[in-house]
Structure 1
Amino acid sequence: MQKEKDNWYASWFNTPYYHILYKDRNHREAALFMNALTNYLNLNKGDTILDLACGRGRHAKYLYKQGFDVTGIDLSEDSIEYAKQYEKPRLSFEVHDMCLPYPKKFDTVLNLFTSFGYFENEIDNLRTIKAINAELKPSAYAVIDFLNAELAIKKLIPSEKKKIGDIVFNIEKYVEKGYIVKNIRFTDGGTDYHYVERVRALTLEDFESYFKEAGITLKKVFGDYKLNDFNRNTSERLILIFN
């Protein structure tokens, strides 16, 4: 049995199976979101963007094509190794822990697709917020695109199967000690695998508490990728604009 490491994200994100399971993410929706977001932030071509927890660089590559100077960072060595094949002037990727400030300042910092709230230690969430703040140029804004945990819990599907190619992923979801937990089990090549995703069920009030402690101002909260206003009862996303 393949077991998770102490930090589940360090093991799961570093496997090809993570990318197989999530290969059908909506690229058109992501592009529309990036367009709406960069317009709202009034970014201009050539402006610098830090894509925090960039994975294999899906958003970073699109933003580069739109004329921005993009740096993508991620803890996953395998994801960054994959992304580096797309590097060119104004598009670069690097392994980096987002809890620590990156040694450069940007016109905006983006943390997308619920790439937050993984940590076992609560202090690491605050450390990441402070690191983002340190990475911003004066008057620049950052964005955290998180799930609306309250709605996600209400709509949680306890058990499901997803067949992708020859692999059947057995997925179990539940809430435990303030985390939304996803158990992922499957067999490939005669070997059984088990990975776990754990995301803290952070609410708008939790983020407001982080921002207050970090001396950060929350400017706007959106509830979806079309940038409609946030409604805790109906919004799928919790998108926070701050500096």
Structure 2
Amino acid sequence: MQEKNTAWYASWFDTSYYHILYKDRGYDEAEAFMKHLVEFLNLPEDGTILDLACGKGRHSVFLNKMGYNVTGVDLSPNSIAHASKSANDTLRFEVHDMCEPYPKEFDAVFNLFTSFGYFEHESDNLRTLKSIKAELNETGFGVIDFLNADFVIDHLVENEVKEVDGIIFRLHRYIENGFIYKDIRFEADGHDHHYTEKVKALTLEDFESYFRAADIDLLAIFGDYNLGKFNKKTSPRLIMIFK
């Protein structure tokens, strides 16, 4: 029997409240990013893509509509159950731990919207990158879309209140031990809830060190979803293309 994952992301991402809090994420911006990305990579028209940490699968679904053969994987059984409602002959979803290699090779592996750096142990970050490398075919490309830690720390909003679907979320952000934390508190369904997100404040230099250790070649770096030039002080994103 597989051991139950008790990490924060295994519980928080598997709740309905996570999806309520982030329901206003911009679909248009995300879809434009996908178009820019596949055009830059010049993927084959019927190419294969692994969407690593796919959540409920909205990006997988869009990429599939663009004509790609897509596999979406995520640690959350609830997210995969939801995503699987959209499955077809060229779109499939599975529960999978991204630290472990998926047993297939792809034209591209996408790890999007800061779905990296959640682990307590540095070794798991490296294991994930080695797994991505193993999932790429001979001409395949890996993509990690991460936050730009320097920009996020400089523009950190410590306290915020958001009301979504009648739920008042109280958010508190802070930096501690090299991680960016977000405490999330709210009352719903007659109960008080408390979750904490944390992501390692990894810089480009950190990723370059990982890439060397994983024998990965960094090919291009971008700083936003329009694939603009990366600037560590002004870019909101750190988007890395590698193989």
* Fold shared per TM-score above 0.5: yes
Is it true that 1:130 corresponds to 2:130 in the alignment? yes
TM value normalised by structure 2: 0.97
Deviations 1:132-172 (A, max 9, x none): 00000012110000000111011001101000121000000
Counterpart amino acid of 2:216? I
Counterpart amino acid of 1:18? Y
> Counterparts in 2 of 1:58-207, with a 5 A limit?
58-207=58-207
Q: Secondary structure at the match of 1:123?
A: helix
Distance, in Å, in 1 between the alignment partners of 2:81 and 2:165 is 24
> Counterparts in 2 of 1:226-241, with a 5 A limit?
226-241=226-241
Q: Secondary structure at the match of 1:104?
A: coil
Q: Secondary structure at the match of 2:169?
A: strand
Deviations 1:31-78 (A, max 9, x none): 100000000000122100000000000100000000000000000010
Runs of 4+ in 1 over 3 A off after TM superposition: none
Identity of aligned residues (%): 58
Q: Secondary structure at the match of 2:212?
A: helix
Q: Secondary structure at the match of 1:116?
A: coil
> Counterparts in 2 of 1:50-65, with a 5 A limit?
50-65=50-65
Deviations 1:171-226 (A, max 9, x none): 00000100000000000122000000000000000000000001110000000000
Is it true that 1:30 corresponds to 2:30 in the alignment? yes
Deviations 1:99-148 (A, max 9, x none): 00000000000000000000011100000000000000012110000000
Q: What runs of 5+ residues in structure 2 fail to find an aligned partner?
A: none
Distance, in Å, in 2 between the alignment partners of 1:43 and 1:136 is 13
Higher RCO (C-alpha 8 Å, min separation 6): 1
Q: For this pair of structures, how many residues does the alignment match?
A: 239
Distance, in Å, in 1 between the alignment partners of 2:150 and 2:6 is 27
Give 1:20's aligned residue.
20
Distance, in Å, in 1 between the alignment partners of 2:189 and 2:104 is 44
Q: Secondary structure at the match of 1:195?
A: strand
Q: Secondary structure at the match of 1:227?
A: coil
Distance, in Å, in 1 between the alignment partners of 2:212 and 2:44 is 29
Q: What runs of 5+ residues in structure 1 fail to find an aligned partner?
A: none
Counterpart amino acid of 2:56? R
Aligned CA RMSD, in angstroms, stands at: 0.8
Deviations 1:68-97 (A, max 9, x none): 000000000100011001000100000000
Counterpart amino acid of 1:162? K
Give 2:9's aligned residue.
9
Pairwise CA distance, 1:6? 4.0
Distance, in Å, in 1 between the alignment partners of 2:190 and 2:28 is 36
Counterpart amino acid of 2:72? G
Distance, in Å, in 1 between the alignment partners of 2:6 and 2:16 is 19
Pairwise CA distance, 1:233? 0.7
Counterpart amino acid of 1:240? M
Q: Secondary structure at the match of 2:202?
A: coil
